[in-house]
A and B are shown apart, each in its own frame.
Chain A
């Protein structure tokens, strides 16, 4: 099963954060880059002392939890997600952070903000979940102030393709776990340009260096929905890891588009 913009994705995958946590855990444990992705994301965003920020698809709120020590008092930050469960999770995660966040349960194509009222919209690995992307981009452009920007992080075609190969070899048929994203590093600029005249891409470098077969099995099962029996998959991964000297390098192909209104 590919992660794509299916209508049932939110309820199937993200109504509870268990699957998402399995994916985050693999990245946190085995990433080569010592600098946290969420810190890097905030580094790329141009924000003055006072700014109105709206995040679409906030997930568990990790962007703001990780950057809690870097928040400026003048930032008016709203976290939104289509999933009420995710918003509740984000709210709980940020309960101890001394910053007055706002929370909204809404889809990306219905941002509950006035026209030209937001300085920055953040879509961190989420635009590929949006069923009607052109409508969402127009909506984001609507709420952005002139000179404001959408920061949209996503993956490229090469992202973790070693896992595709691993899973394809296991199942005996070509499997694409992450290749069917509707918004990628390759097509993102073309999708953004009809709405945002000025689009640039900032690449990010990282990879996973994994030596734990259990963690890989959990990750794969979190994507495939757990329909595969775990034991044979785990045994297969253990054998593959052993054949590779106990470690597997999984390339990450990620970056962030900056789209200016």
Chain B
């Protein structure tokens, strides 16, 4: 394997793992204080799944590098690879819901496309992760619709999306190393992923009464840093 290609794969696996490792505990912060016991329970399950996905990515990375996977979550924060949306501090329930929904949709879009990766390990991960994420998206879509029925809550929801949406641009940014993987088509093309993601997100947001204004066009500051 070309060294750059191998490095690109490792960095890609690390980023996907770090993202899930960051999000899991944030979702879990609602343990004991979620709106209802049913929502707390489902969110706890989602958090468990995310940590399980992080473990899968870390395990693959460890195989590629011949290392112990336990060391990766212990890395100093400065070494973390994580789009900001995963790492934003847990806000109110509407913020949590907005972020979870946007990321669930992103993972469904990603995994649907990654299923056809010529690299079997990525296709396997996509199958496993995609199955979980479709469940998550169905759940967060239901919450979204229910939450949007009430005018006061809909305003909170709008604020949640106003705060999270600008950071979604980072989900579709490719690094220089990613181009090795994109050229070989082993990972989904970011533009195609975004298109698939919008097809999932847009109708559900409309149904929930969330308005996508010009001000909500994807943008946002960069930065790849995580804090435990």
Does A associate with B in a complex? yes
Q: Which of A198-236 contact B (CB under 8 A)?
A: 201, 203-207, 209
| Contact A205-B228, Cβ < 8 Å, known A34-B70, A34-B72 | no
Among B31, B49, B54, which residue has its beta carbon within 8 angstroms of that of A34? B54
The answer to the question of A39 belonging to the interface, with a C-beta cut-off of 8 Å to chain B, is: yes
Q: Are A205 and B55 in contact (CB under 8 A)?
A: no
Contact of B48 among A203, A205, A255 (CB under 8 A): A205
- A169 in the interface, Cβ–Cβ < 8 Å? no
Contact across chains for A35 and B48 when beta carbons are under 8 A apart: no
On whether the beta carbons of B51 and A203 are closer than 8 Å, the reply is no
Docked-complex contact A34 and B51, CB < 8 angstroms: yes
Inter-chain contact B49/A32, CB cutoff 8 Å: yes
> B203 CB to closest chain A CB, in angstroms?
31
B44 A43 Cβ-Cβ under 8 A: no
Q: Measured between C-beta atoms, what is the minimum distance from A70 to chain B in Å?
A: 9
Name the A residues within 8 Å of B28 (CB-CB): 203-205
Does B32 touch A at the CB level, under 8 Å? yes
- Known: A34-B55, A34-B58. Contact between A206 and B73, CB under 8 A? no
Total A-B residue contacts, Cβ distance less than 8 Å: 55
- Hey, which chain A residues are within 8 Å of B21, CB to CB? 34-35
How many angstroms from the CA of A148 to the CA of B48 in the assembled complex?
Answer: 33
Is B52 in contact with chain A by the CB < 8 A criterion?
A: yes
* A205 x B70 contact (CB < 8 A): no
Determine the chain B residues whose CB is within 8 A of the CB of A255 once the complex forms: 31
Q: Does A249 lie within 8 Å of B48, measured CB to CB?
A: yes
Least Cβ distance of A240 to chain B in Å?
Answer: 20
Given contacts A33-B24, A35-B74, whether A206 and B55 have CB atoms under 8 Å apart is: no
Chain B CB within 10 Å — which of A33, A249, A255 has the most?
Answer: A33
B124 at the interface (CB under 8 A from A): no
Shortest Cβ gap from B220 to chain A (Å): 27
Closest Cβ–Cβ distance, residue B20 to chain A (whole Å): 9
B96 to chain A: closest CB distance in Å?
14
CB pair B29–A34 under 8 Å, yes or no, is no
Task: Given A34-B55, A34-B69, A35-B21, decide whether A206 and B48 contact each other with a Cβ distance below 8 A.
Answer: yes
Is B25 in the interface zone, CB < 8 Å from A? yes
Contact A201 B32 (CB under 8 A): yes
**Chain B's nearest CB lies how many Å from the CB of A208?**
9
A36 contacts across to B, CB distance below 8 A: 70
Contacts A201-B32, A205-B25, A205-B31: A39 and B74 contacting too (C-beta < 8 A)?
A: yes
> B48 touching A32 by the CB < 8 A rule?
yes
- Which residues on B sit within 8 Å (CB–CB) of A39? 73-74
A205 touches B58 (CB 8 A): no
Chain A positions 225-261 with a Cβ under 8 Å from a chain B Cβ: 249, 251, 255
Enumerate chain A residues within 8 angstroms of B52, measured Cβ to Cβ: 32, 207, 209
Question: In the complex, A34→B70 CA distance in Å?
Answer: 7
Task: Give the CA-CA distance A133 to B74 in the complex, in Å.
Answer: 35
Smallest CB gap from B21: residue in A? A34
Question: A135-153: which residues lie under 8 A (CB-CB) from chain B?
Answer: none
Question: B44 is contacted by which of A35, A185, A205, A209 (Cβ under 8 Å)?
Answer: A205
Asked if B55 contacts A251 (CB within 8 A), the reply is no
B114 contacts the other chain (CB 8 A): no
Q: List B contacts of A205 (CB < 8 A).
A: 24-25, 27-28, 31, 44, 47-48, 51
Alpha-carbon distance between A34 and B60 when the two chains are bound, in angstroms: 13
Contact mask for chain B residues 52-84; partner A; CB cutoff 8 A; 1 contact, 0 none: 101100100000000001101110000000000
Cα separation A203 to B29 with both chains bound (whole Å): 7
List chain A residues, Cβ under 8 A from B32.
Answer: 185, 201, 203
Asked if A203 contacts B31 (CB within 8 A), the reply is yes
Complex-state Cα separation, A34 to B54, whole angstroms: 7
Complex Cα–Cα for A69 and B58 (A): 21
Verify B228–A43 contact, CB threshold 8 A. Answer: yes
Query: Could you jot down 20 A-B contacts, CB within 8 Å?
Result: A32-B52, A32-B55, A33-B55, A34-B17, A34-B51, A34-B58, A35-B21, A35-B51, A39-B73, A39-B74, A203-B28, A203-B32, A205-B25, A205-B27, A205-B48, A205-B51, A207-B48, A207-B52, A251-B44, A251-B45
14 more A-B contacts (CB under 8 A) besides A34-B55, A35-B51, A39-B74?
A32-B48, A33-B24, A34-B58, A34-B70, A34-B72, A203-B29, A203-B31, A205-B31, A205-B44, A205-B51, A206-B51, A207-B45, A209-B52, A249-B45
**Which 9 A-B residue pairs are closest in the complex by CB-CB distance?**
A205-B28, A32-B52, A203-B31, A207-B48, A34-B55, A35-B73, A33-B51, A205-B47, A32-B51
